Structure 1
Amino acid sequence: IIWILSIALSSPYFIFSDTSNDDSIFYCIDSKTPWTNLTELDYETVDLIDEAAIVTEFVCAFPIPFFIIVICYGLIAFKLRKNSRILGSGQTFKILITTVLCFFFCWVLYYLVPIITLVNSNTEWPGAEQLYPLSECLAFFNSCLNPIIYVFIGRNYKQILRKSIPFLLENTFRERTDPTEIQEDNTV
């Protein structure tokens, strides 16, 4: 059911997307409409379709997944709280909260910029051009954050970090005089 819903919600991208080429460089463009020879009335319809697509994408791609994540992580926290020895000193709860907050802050701008642009469509909003690349970078950076969160909020990261940094520094700055020692280090 999830796959069918995902395909249905992404089908407008197949209809309203196109490519353009300039000196053998291809660009993806939002064609707004697959039809040509539009009248003024048709342009109004295209604008309505565009507005509906922006609002639908916002609702289906941000608040719904966010609330699903909050509910699932809330259920995990509830189950762990019942078994307090697993919850430990709150590390797991911190990981859950941090993961949810990172998802929210990384993706909110990505979905709010088109909404703000839509609301301010009659006025020129100069900040939109600067916010689009920033919002995309933040949104895609979220994929990198979860492993980092798990490592740095996990239980033993401080001990591992304390042990690993001196070890790395010792190995980096140690004088290597014996050629077999260099070969042994390279085989590891």
Structure 2
Amino acid sequence: MDNDAILYEMYNDTYNDNYTYDEDVTLENVVFKPNSTCFKEVSCVALLVVNVLILLLGLSGNGIVIWIAGFKMKKTINTTWYLSLAISDFIFCACLPFNITHMATSNWIFGLFMCKFTSFAMFLNMFSSIFLLVIISADRCVSVMCPVWAQNHRTIQKASLVVTLAWVVSIALSIPSVVFRDVVSHLGKSVCFNNYTSHQYSHEMIAVSRLVGGFIIPFFIIFICYSIIILRLRTNNMTKSSKPFKVMTALIVTFFICWLPYHVFVLLELNHQNYDSEVIRLGFKVSTTVATANSFLNPILYIFMGNDFKRSFKNSVFSKMENALGEEGRTMSRYLSRSSSVDGRASTHI
């Protein structure tokens, strides 16, 4: 892909977080190339509709989770985890109207601050979500391996502190979006994009660090935690006690499926000259939309992954949500009590 093609794709791709602006190419070469609106392409219209649905479902679904877990339920360690996840998803969904408008008009009208903030919110959501999933997986692993210790030391205060640290790290890792995001205008057209021209290899370093720190390493830790959990449950013949991990497993699988395509296209874009520019352009649009969908799927999983779904389906949405979120805490308490008694019996034999 030559420089003209790269810049053309950058202007034509309103949802792309990765194409860089080549200062050797003048804006006059490309300013008339992008389509004036999204409505001339069927694929763009379809993605626009999907993003609007994600916006509506994400705000309403996560709003319900925040209301139930934050105000209607007793505060527990489990509600602390899921409340934080819901807040992260809600913030990201609240920024979608800006990106949807950008997609529809092919023109960024919201200024430099919102250009930086919307990109920052996307990666803050990505990092905070995966870090929270790692924390919950580690918490489950410790509860299985050391049930007595976990029952005595797992507190809401410690959970809140860990969540706060996860948010601080997520904010720090999302700062590059604020540093490199930029807006360029010419003849009435504005584009929000990543400007990596001031630092050599910054594009590659940021892309790889997001892949490794926000995807590969977290999932490696999660894989180890779940392997330990499964082996422990099978060893103790406590397969019925795996119910607390059902919602968590669904959240992890959903995050993996939603974010994997995005990271794949990030790597492909680093070597864009070896691939069809149209494939990369469309791939980024679709993969970014799929990643965005993760924000509205989480509250749906909370509602429909409960053990008593058939019975709770007859109840209100609020009752189903509370049942799904509260069920895990109740089952975990029963599991810890049962594990403690098993450990106690084992110690008497010794």
TM-score range relative to shorter protein = 0.5 to 0.7
- Are residues 157 and 7 of structure 1, via their aligned partners in 2, closer, same or farther at CA, if it must alter by over 3 Å? closer
What's 1:98 paired with?
250
Deviation at 1:109, TM superposition (A): 0.7
* 2-structure distance, mates of 1:19, 1:131: 23
1:29-76 CA-to-partner distances (Å, cap 9, x unmatched) read 211224xxxxxxxxxx73x33222211221112123333444566677
CA contact (8 A) 2:268 2:275 kept: no
Aligned mate of 2:219, from 62, 66, 86: 66
Secondary structure of 1:10's counterpart equals helix
TM-score normalised by length of structure 1: 0.61
- Are residues 10 and 94 of structure 1, via their aligned partners in 2, closer, same or farther at CA, if it must alter by over 3 Å? closer
- Are residues 7 and 145 of structure 1, via their aligned partners in 2, closer, same or farther at CA, if it must alter by over 3 Å? closer
CA contact (8 A) 1:18 1:30 kept: yes
Deviation at 1:2, TM superposition (A): 4.5
Q: RMSD over aligned Cα, in angstroms?
A: 3.5
TM-score normalised by length of structure 2: 0.36
Aligned mate of 1:142, from 281, 285, 294: 294
Deviation at 1:152, TM superposition (A): 1.6
Deviation at 1:102, TM superposition (A): 0.8
My pick for the range that moved more, 57-66 or 104-113, is 57-66
What's 1:132 paired with?
284
Secondary structure of 2:184's counterpart equals strand
> Does 2:180 match 1:27?
no
CA contact (8 A) 1:16 1:31 kept: yes
Secondary structure of 2:273's counterpart equals coil
Amino acid at match of 2:194: D
What's 1:56 paired with?
209
> Does 2:261 match 1:109?
yes
1:104-153 CA-to-partner distances (Å, cap 9, x unmatched) read 10110111111022244344343211121221121121122222223222
- Are residues 79 and 145 of structure 1, via their aligned partners in 2, closer, same or farther at CA, if it must alter by over 3 Å? farther
Give the alignment of 1:139-178 within 5 angstroms: 139-161=291-313, 163=314
* 2-structure distance, mates of 1:149, 1:130: 28
- Are residues 97 and 145 of structure 1, via their aligned partners in 2, closer, same or farther at CA, if it must alter by over 3 Å? same
* 2-structure distance, mates of 1:139, 1:145: 10
Secondary structure of 2:276's counterpart equals coil
> Does 2:180 match 1:16?
yes
* 2-structure distance, mates of 1:20, 1:120: 22
- Are residues 4 and 158 of structure 1, via their aligned partners in 2, closer, same or farther at CA, if it must alter by over 3 Å? closer
Work out which structure has the larger RCO, using CA pairs closer than 8 Å and 6 or more positions apart in sequence.
2
Which consecutive unaligned segments of at least 5 residues does structure 2 have?
Answer: 1-164, 317-350
Amino acid at match of 1:17: R
* 2-structure distance, mates of 1:9, 1:111: 16
* 2-structure distance, mates of 1:65, 1:92: 21
Q: Which has the larger radius of gyration?
A: 1
Matched residues, number: 151
CA contact (8 A) 2:262 2:288 kept: yes
